[in-house]
Amino acid sequence: MKIKLSTPAEVRRTLSKIANMLLNNQIDPQRATAITNCCNSVLNCIRIDEQQKKLAELEKLLDEVEANGA
């Protein structure tokens, strides 16, 4: 099974596939758990990256405001 985990939407699709496979006895529960854990780790990394980008944007805006208002 080939999966993509680059975006939250891709992770969501993967988790849905794994859940369906598990319900249909097409995947071992331990393997499903391992894949789910990986998906959760990837989601956390994506969230952190997004937060860091937003923080950098806010810091840049703050620097601009301080430079113009000081």
How many domains, the chain?
A: 1
How confident is the model at residue 55, as a pLDDT?
97
How confident is the model at residue 40, as a pLDDT?
97
The answer, as to whether pTM is greater than 0.75, is yes
Question: Has residue 2 been placed in a domain?
Answer: no
Question: Has residue 50 been placed in a domain?
Answer: yes
How confident is the model at residue 1, as a pLDDT?
77
How confident is the model at residue 70, as a pLDDT?
61
Question: Has residue 3 been placed in a domain?
Answer: no
How confident is the model at residue 2, as a pLDDT?
85
| CA distances for 16 relative to 2, 21, 26, 28, angstroms | 14, 9, 13, 15
User: Which residues span the domain enclosing 60?
Assistant: 8-69
Question: Has residue 1 been placed in a domain?
Answer: no
Identify the segments of the chain with pLDDT beneath 50. Answer: none
